[in-house]
Amino acid sequence: FERLKVRLHQVAHLSSETKDGRRIILRANLDLPEEIPFARDYGAEGIGLFRTEYLYVSRRELPYEELLFETYRRVVEDIAPHPVTIRTLDLGGDKFASVLDLPEEINPALGLRAIRLCLKEDHLFRTQLRAILRASAYGKVKIMFPLISGVAEFLRARNLVEEIKEELAREGLPFDPEVPVGAMIEVPSAVAVADLLAREADFFSIGTNDLIQYTLAIDRGNEEVAELYEPLHPAILRFIKTTVTAGHRAGIPVAMCGEMAGDLLYVPILVGLELDELSMNPQSLPEVKLFIRELEFKKCRELVEKVLNLTCQDEVKEAVSEVFGPHIRKFSRSLWFE
């Protein structure tokens, strides 16, 4: 155990870049402030996805502003000098908050959830935005909206942030006036208009779980069709590429915070797709970093060129393991698995 700790410490201080110098920022996905020390031990350069549902689903009543503020402030301070990307409330769909008394829906995944719910139940959203903005005075905060489907919706949410800033200014409460505001890219329509969205957003973060679900029209929780849920479907890889290209043309960074980001099999492709940042469960960070340090960016890009024109996930997997199989196998035998 001590040996693991020493090794973790060593790895945490290595830079996450490929052999030929392409840097990929590695961050953690977290739900609770208590997890931060753990994320730091594992070498996270900040939190790429801080989920905010916990305080809404774990209690009998809606959280009040001070409780939210104190929670976010603690996160912001504990992760400093690194940044935290706070995702605004992503309730509905499969995550229910009994306090909200949401209607029953035939297809909840295609229903009133995430940013839609927040823009409709605007008092909820205002309280959360006030707490986030107030916490932004204590470190580096970014605000991220889930389930954005287009420019108009993003601007509605972004304008609300501006309104709250004015409100706080009037009340004399401190906040970061430059807080970046970004869009999660997880609805196919957001990919289709990524070039237009990139002009309005300060960053993108690709949420692969929902993006795959909607793009393939597959509920990943449904056993009957689970085998059709394919992260390496060429359509998914193309949508990621479209998003990255749109972001980079507009000069904004593009992150990925879905489960895909933490899987070794996918890492060479994600590096080749030129993602700037991968955010994942903290436990995956050390092995992903060590793996990235063995890769050549050039080879990853060549691999991507090739796989974008394949016809199914199996062919993509084969192409990946043809080039990177020995590396991936080496890692499955590494320290971390012994």
- Residue 107 binds which entry of its own copies, Mg ion, none, with Cβ cut-offs from 5 to 8 Å by kind? its own copies
**Smallest gap from residue 52 Cβ to its own copies (A):** 20
| Binding of Mg ion by 153 (CB under 5 A) | no
CA distance 207 to 70: 27
Residues 51 and 86: beta-carbon distance below 8 Å: no
For residue 207, the minimal CB distance to Mg ion (Å) is 4
Q: Quick check: 246 and 198 in contact, CB under 8 A?
A: yes
Report, in Å, the least distance between residue 248 CB and Mg ion.
Answer: 23
In terms of CB distance, is 93 or 282 closer to its own copies? Answer: 93
Helix (H, G, I), strand (E, B) or coil at 187: coil
Binding partner of 40, given its own copies, Mg ion, none, CB within 5-8 angstroms per partner class: none
Cα–Cα dist 14/17, whole Å: 9
Count of H-run helices and E-run strands, the chain: 15, 8
Bridge partners of 277, per DSSP, are 25, 255
| Residue 256 CA, distance from chain mean position | 5
Using the minimum distance from each CB to its own copies, give the nearer residue, 150 or 253. 150
- Binder of residue 287, out of its own copies, Mg ion, none (CB less than 5 to 8 A by kind): none
User: Is residue 258 at the binding interface for Mg ion, with CB under 5 A as the rule?
Assistant: no
Contact between 210 and Mg ion per CB under 5 A: yes
Q: Which is nearer to its own copies, 275 or 292 (CB)?
A: 275
Q: How far is the CB of 79 from Mg ion (least distance, A)?
A: 22
Stretch 167-206: interaction string toward Mg ion, x if CB under 5 A: -------------------x--------------------
The partner in contact with residue 57, picked from its own copies, Mg ion, none with C-beta cut-offs of 5 to 8 angstroms by kind, is none
> Whole-angstrom Cα distance, residue 53 to residue 89?
6
Among 43, 83, 207, 286, binds Mg ion (CB under 5 A): 207
Identity of the residue, 57 or 235, whose beta carbon is nearer to its own copies in the bound complex: 235
Cα(261)–Cα(281) distance, integer angstroms: 9
- Give the footprint of its own copies on this chain (CB under 8 A): 94, 103, 105-112, 116, 120, 147, 149-152, 155, 187-193, 196, 210, 213-219, 221-222, 224-225, 228, 233-236, 238-239, 309, 311-312, 314
* Nearest distance from C-beta of residue 252 to its own copies, angstroms: 17
User: Whole-number minimum distance, CB 269 to its own copies, in Å?
Assistant: 16
Instruction: Number of residues interacting with Mg ion: please give it, by CB under 5 A.
Output: 3
Instruction: Report H helices in the chain.
Output: 2-12, 36-41, 54-57, 65-79, 114-120, 122-135, 151-171, 188-192, 194-197, 208-216, 234-249, 267-272, 285-292, 297-307, 313-332
- Cα–Cα distance between 229 and 114 in angstroms, integer? 22
Give the shortest CB-304-to-its own copies separation in angstroms. 15
The end-to-end CA distance of the chain, in Å, is 12
Find the shortest distance in angstroms from Cβ 202 to its own copies. Answer: 17
Q: Which residues pair with 278 in a beta bridge?
A: 26, 256
HSE value, Cβ hemisphere, 13 Å, CA-based, for 167: 13
Among Mg ion, its own copies, none, the one that 152 touches (CB under a kind-dependent 5 to 8 A) is its own copies
335 binds, among its own copies, Mg ion, none (CB under 5 to 8 A by kind): none
Judge residue 293's burial from the number of C-beta atoms within 10 Å of its C-beta, 0-12 exposed, 13-18 middle, 19 or more buried: middle
> What are the residues binding Mg ion (CB under 5 A)?
186, 207, 210
